Amino acid sequence: MKRILGRRLSQLATSFSNGSCVKPLLKMPSFDYTPLPYDGPTAGEILKKRSEFLSPSFFHFYKKPLNIVEGKMQYLFDEEGRRYLDAFAGIATVCCGHCHPEITEAIISQTKKLQHSTVLYLNHAIADFAEALASKLPGDLKVVFFTNSGTEANELAIMIARLYTGCHDIISIRNAYHGNASGTMGSTAQKNWKFNVIQSGVHHAQNPDPYRGVFGSEGEKYARDVQEIIEFGTSGQVAAFIAEAIQGVGGIVELAPGYLPAVYKTIKEAGGLFIADEVQSGFARSGSHFWGFQAHGVTPDIVTMAKGIGNGIPLGAVVTTPEIARVLTRRNYFNTFGGNPVCTAGGLAVLRVLEKERLQQNAFVVGSYLKDGLKLLQEKHDIIGDVRGRGFMLGVELVTDRQLKTPANAEILNVMELLKDMGVLVGKGGFYGNVFRITPPLCFSKEDADYFLEVMDIALSKL
C-alpha cells in the first residue's frame, strides 16, 4: 500500500506544484443511484428561516452552508443533485449507511403496525432488541434501559451510579463530551462550548492524551490524578468514573495505554462504578473491537450507547448488571418513548446488518488502510501534527509548528472548504478546534478511502 499511495502522492505533488486548481487524478467512486428531483426551498431560503425561528446557538459548517436533501449509504446529495462522500456520518448517528434498505424497511414496517409506549404494554420488539444487544456485551452486562439519546443514556447512568453507591461524586476526564443536558454538561469539561455548567460533586481528571498530554503515552501516570482527586477532593468514596474509550468531540483522542485498567482499580477500591460511554466509539466503529473499552482490557459496570445503535433514529441505551439495575425498582423509573416499537425494530435491524455485511471487519480493514494513507500524508505535509484513532474513528490534527504543536485553526477551515468543493464532507473538533474528525459509515470502501486521501492531499498542497 505504501508504494502505491507513495507513487500517487508523488504524482500529485508534481501536478499541484504550481498551486493551480486541478481536478483529482481519480474520479469519485461510481455509485449506481440517481437522487430524486428536488423542488423544495433553496439553501438561502432555509438559512433565512432558520436564523429567524431556530436557536441562535446553532452553527453550520462552510461559508456557504450545504442544503443536504437526500442520503444513500456513504453518500449525500445537495439540492442540485451533487454527490458528496460523507466522511462524518458517525456524528449523524449513521452506522450502516444512509437510508440502508433493510433498516428503512424494518422501521417503515413497524410504523405501519404500531408506535406506542412499551412501558405500559407488552410488545416483542423491545424484548427482542434487548436480548440481541445484551448478547454483544461481556460478563454480566445484560439488563437494558432504552432512552432516546446519548445524553439521556449518560444522565441515567450517572443517576444509577449515585443511587447504587449512595455517593454523589463523579469523576470524568477533561476534554471529554457526554451530552448536552445540565448533568452531562457538568461532567463534560469540554471547553469548546465556551461555558461550563457547574454541577456539584463532579471532578475533572487530567486528560490522558498521548499527543498533547504531559506524560505522553504513559497511562498509569495520568491515572494518579484520579487517585489524588479521590484522596483530596472527596470523602474517599466515589459514585462513578465515566469515560469515552476514544474521545469524539474532543478530537478523536485515544486514551493512553494502561490508563483505564489503572483507573478501574482505583475506582473499585473507592467503591465506585465504571461507566463506559460508547456513544461514538461503540457498535463496531473502532473495527478491532465491537466496543471501544474492549481494546483496554476492562469490563465496565455500566455501558451507554446511542448514534450507531439506531442508524439515524433517536435511540440510546444503558446496559448494566442485574444487581445494579435493581436499584431502580425502588424508584419507579420509566421512559415513555425509550424502547418504543419503531426505534427498537430499527435497532434490531442495525445489528443484523452489521453482522450480515461484516461491517466490523470492513471498519478494521478499510479503516486501517485509510489510517496508513493519512500517515503517508503526514510524512509529506508538515501541517499534519498527528494521525490517530482506529477503524472508522480517525483524527488528523493540524498544527502550524510541529515542535510547539501550535493549533492550525484558520487552516483547517480553509482545508474543509476545499474538501467540500471536491465533494468530501468531514468534521472537526478537538480542544482547539483543529482536528479533522473522520467517522464515515461502516460501509465506506477502499475506493472511497483512496478518493478521500487524494482530495485531502490536494487540499493540503494548496495551503
Question: For residue 245, what pLDDT is reported?
Answer: 95
- pLDDT average, residue stretch 314-325: 96
Give dist(CA 375, CA 352) in Å, integer.
Answer: 33
Residue 245, domain CATH: 3.40.640.10
Both 125 and 30 in one domain: the answer is: no
Between helix 359-380 and helix 341-356 the angle, nearest 10°, is 70
Instruction: State how far the Cα of 424 lies from the Cα of 78, in Å rounded to an integer.
Output: 12
Per-residue confidence (pLDDT) for residue 234, from 0 to 100:
85
Domain match, 89 and 106 both: no
- Pairing type for strands 253-254 and 246-247 reads antiparallel
Three-state DSSP state, 320: strand
pTM metric for this prediction? 0.91
Q: What pLDDT sits at residue 187? A: 64
Whether pLDDT at 192 is above 60: no
Instruction: Kindly report the average pLDDT of the chain as a whole number.
Output: 90
328: Cα within 13 Å, side-chain hemisphere: 19
- pLDDT of 312 reads 84
Q: What is the pLDDT of residues 92-109, one digit of tens each?
A: 667 899 999 999 999 999
pLDDT digits (tens, 9 = 90+) for 136-179: 999 999 999 999 999 999 999 999 999 999 999 999 999 998 98
pLDDT bucket at 5, cuts 50 / 70 / 90: low
Q: What is the mean pLDDT of residues 270-294?
A: 96
Domain boundary among the residues 316, 333, 356 is at: 356
61 and 178 co-located in one domain: no
Alpha-carbon dihedral angle through residues 246, 285, 279, 83, given to the nearest 10 degrees: 110
CATH code of the domain in which 399 resides: 3.90.1150.10
How many domains are there within the chain? 2
SS3 content of the chain, % helix, strand, coil (to 5): 40, 15, 45
Last residue of a domain, one of 333, 356, 379: 356
On whether both 158 and 265 belong to a single domain, the answer is: yes
pLDDT of residue 198: 63
Stretch 220-244: mean pLDDT, rounded? Answer: 94
Same domain? For 33 and 72 the reply is: yes
**pLDDT value at position 16?**
40
Alpha carbon distance 124, 344 (integer Å): 10
Query: 15: exposed, middle or buried (C-beta count within 10 Å: 0-12, 13-18, 19+)?
Result: middle
Range of the domain at 341: 101-356
The mean per-residue pLDDT over the stretch 55-75 comes to: 91
Last residue of a domain, one of 356, 378, 400: 356
Residue identified by cell 471547553 is 191
Nearest 10 degrees: CA dihedral of 405, 407, 411, 412?
A: 110
Pair 142, 76 in one domain? no
pLDDT, tens digit, 9 for 90 and up, residues 38-51: 999 999 999 999 88
Provide DSSP, 66-85.
--EEEEEBTEEEETT--EEE
What Rg, from alpha-carbon coordinates, does the chain have?
A: 22
